A and B are shown apart, each in its own frame.
Chain A
Amino acid sequence: MATNTSTAANLPPASEALKKSQPKSMLRIAISQLFEHRLAVISLVVITLFLGVAVFADVISWATGIDPDAQDIMNRYGPWTPQNWLGTDEVGRDVLIRLVYGTRISLMVAILVAISSTIIGISVGAIAGYFGGFIDSFLMRVTDSLLALPLIPVLIIMASVDHTKIPLFSLISPESISIVKMVLVLLTFSWMVQGRLVRGEVLALKEQEYILAAKTSGMSSFAIIMKELLPNIMTPVIVSVTLTVGSSILFEAALSFLGLGIQPPTPTWGNMLNNAQEIIYSAPLLAVIPGILILIIVISFNFLGDGLQDALDPKAIRR
């Protein structure tokens, strides 16, 4: 394995354990580097915890016997008690169990947006970078134009559309329609960064000999992109997926907070804050907790992205 001497000057010296060890696979190097990034490891634990809560929301509801939609008008703005750990909201629903279900919806939307925007970004970027010429300049014009738009106002306009006036949307069940709409709206404006990134990487790689070899051996363009190019550009893509999850959580929360996103009674962190906004004078805690959860999960995804960047970037690998 070739030694890489272009270690960044500001990195701490390689740990002794790494120096002594036998040649490792790239994956093991990456993992051991990720574990050196303490914040990234903590973030990974936090994210796993939240994902666990999201997956087992029904189990938690069943085990505690609390229904997220059960109202109790006699017990509005209830205090923190052994039954309602975080009290109750304006119609007497348990705040904790709604946060649990909110975690499920918010994470699901963000992960769906991140994965599908990556697929679109990779397709656009790879096609533009690989084929070049007119396709490239057309796709990049579209990407640049979308990137230049004022994101928040455009998202507000898109999200205000009445879905019952769009024919295709009648096929979706009414409970999940605002979730589908949210994913589609966020997706429209989140693939461009990945698109640009992938195009840049493909442009840099496509002149290399192994691509030429693949071409001369008669591989189809599709096969070259899928089998030769994509595996070599996964590093920045993985990092950007992580960061997109974080930003999608923020945008979903912002739109739901404005009342344009996922509609109640389906709880998300954003629309819980929308309800809480009107009562910050009487019940400020209802506004505090969902926001702290958003901050924790988004900062975790950002730290993880940062750690992955360090761990996967061959220029930063210390051996």
Chain B
Amino acid sequence: MTAYIIRRLIQTIIVVLLLSFVSYALMGLMPGDPLDIACQANPHCTPENLDQMKKALGLDQPVYVRYFKWLQGFMTGDLGYSRTYRLPITDILIPRLINTLYLSVTSLVLSIIIAIPLGVFTSLRPNTKFDYTLNMFAFAGISIPSFWLALMLIIIFAVKLQIFPASGIETIGLEGEISTFEIVWDRINHLVLPVTTLSLLTVAFWVRYTRAKMLETMRFDYIRTARAKGLPESRVIYMHGLRNALIPVVTVIALGFSSIFSGAVITETVFAYLGAGKLIFDSIFANDYNMAMCSFIITSFMVLMMNLFADLLYAYLDPRISYT
């Protein structure tokens, strides 16, 4: 097991390194060079000045040399500064990551609470009206474009009904005027629509998955054995069926966290929720490449680690899987 974990860790680190190099190279191919922009804005800047500046900053060197320089800084904890915010990267990124974490964890918990009982419930009544209706909703849930759902929620709940705020993480300008409880309530209000958007796809997917796994498990011989030896049906379902069916479901949930985390980019952008995903998106548009690079790599690293964790969890929970 230890050897397996170490091998997978090394593999993940290689992937992160390759990913960071590729994205570093791609960022160089994005429109708008910050120095070019600065030079255009300054009437005294000549092309010779520009060349001199690029040379002084080492920008005339090939991409891999610049990448290793950047990597060296990154590894020693020197993430550098953001061009647009004029602040150290960590000062901006950490609060943003925490905001994204609030959003993702809330969606994850909500999805688990809704999806798994629903999936189990419907699997015990296959091919009934309830099953068909739920299946229709699940299909709609996996087919709906999340950004469009977000827009519809804004139109209905923020523009027409004005129940929930359309964007942001908190009402601006209330600092010091309201109690801690009201601040928390305000933040929760701002979470409702993004969390709904983010959870719908996950719930739809998990309901179908739980149902399928539950049906599959209930056909195994040990279920027949459990029934044959006269166990009450509830015990057969929950102790023998559900416990075995949950093994793959747990892995899918662990994977789900990483997909919620990466799917949050779109949701955060539509709702102007100040999370890490919106930060990646905004910094690319603002030509703030160091900011984009750092937030992208750190987010990706977190997602890859969660995926690795999901794999290990599966191997740990299911003794039938060997760690090779």
Q: Measuring CB to CB, which residues of chain A are less than 8 angstroms from any residue of chain B? A: 9-10, 12, 141, 145, 148-154, 156-158, 160-162, 164-166, 246, 250, 253-254, 257-258, 273, 276-277, 280-281, 284, 287-288, 290-291, 294-295, 298-299, 302-303, 306
Scoring B residues 296 to 322 as 1 if CB is less than 8 Å from chain A, else 0, what string do you get?
A: 100110011001100000000000000
Top 8 A-B residue pairs of the complex, sorted by shortest distance between their CB atoms: A150-B262, A291-B148, A299-B143, A162-B31, A298-B143, A150-B303, A10-B126, A148-B307
Closest to B155 in A: A284
Known contacts A148-B15, A153-B299, A280 near B148 by CB under 8 Å: no
Q: Does B263 contact A (CB under 8 A)?
A: yes
Docked-complex contact B139 and A302, CB < 8 angstroms: yes
Q: Does B113 contact A (CB under 8 A)?
A: no
Contact of A149 among B159, B292, B304 (CB under 8 A): B304
Closest to B127 in A: A10
Contact of A153 among B142, B159, B300 (CB under 8 A): B300
Contact of B281 among A250, A258, A295, A306 (CB under 8 A): A258
Q: Does B284 contact A (CB under 8 A)?
A: yes
Residue count of chain B within 8 Å CB distance of chain A: 51
Closest to A162 in B: B31
C-alpha gap A46/B126 in the complex (Å):
27
Known contacts A148-B307, A153-B277, A273-B147, A280 near B30 by CB under 8 Å: no
Docked-complex contact B151 and A302, CB < 8 angstroms: no
CB distance from A149 to the nearest CB of B (A): 7
Docked-complex contact B303 and A141, CB < 8 angstroms: no
- Which residues of chain B are near A246, meaning CB under 8 Å? 143
Q: Does B172 contact A (CB under 8 A)?
A: no
Instruction: Kindly identify, within residues 258 to 308 of chain B, every residue whose CB is under 8 Å from any CB belonging to chain A.
Output: 258-259, 261-263, 265-266, 269-270, 277, 280-281, 284, 292, 296, 299-300, 303-304, 307-308
C-alpha gap A9/B217 in the complex (Å):
12
Scoring B residues 143 to 166 as 1 if CB is less than 8 Å from chain A, else 0, what string do you get?
A: 111111101101100010000000
- Which residues of chain B are near A9, meaning CB under 8 Å? 219
- Which residues of chain A are near B92, meaning CB under 8 Å? none
- Which residues of chain B are near A257, meaning CB under 8 Å? 145, 147-148
5 A-B pairs whose Cβ atoms sit less than 8 Å apart in the complex: A145-B18, A149-B19, A158-B26, A257-B148, A302-B142
CB distance from B138 to the nearest CB of A (A): 10
Docked-complex contact B280 and A258, CB < 8 angstroms: no
C-alpha gap A12/B131 in the complex (Å):
14
CB distance from A205 to the nearest CB of B (A): 23
Docked-complex contact B145 and A258, CB < 8 angstroms: no
Contact of B29 among A141, A165, A287 (CB under 8 A): A165
Summed over the interface, the residue pairs from A and B with CB atoms below 8 Å come to a total of: 128
C-alpha gap A277/B269 in the complex (Å):
11
- Which residues of chain B are near A152, meaning CB under 8 Å? 262-263, 265-266, 277
Closest to B277 in A: A153
Contact of A258 among B23, B139, B266 (CB under 8 A): B266
Q: Does B215 contact A (CB under 8 A)?
A: yes
Contact of A253 among B12, B145, B269 (CB under 8 A): B145
Docked-complex contact A291 and B266, CB < 8 angstroms: no
C-alpha gap A151/B149 in the complex (Å):
19
CB distance from A267 to the nearest CB of B (A): 16
Q: Does B45 contact A (CB under 8 A)?
A: no
Closest to B123 in A: A10
Docked-complex contact A157 and B23, CB < 8 angstroms: yes
- Which residues of chain B are near A303, meaning CB under 8 Å? 139
Docked-complex contact A141 and B151, CB < 8 angstroms: no
- Which residues of chain A are near B29, meaning CB under 8 Å? 161-162, 165-166
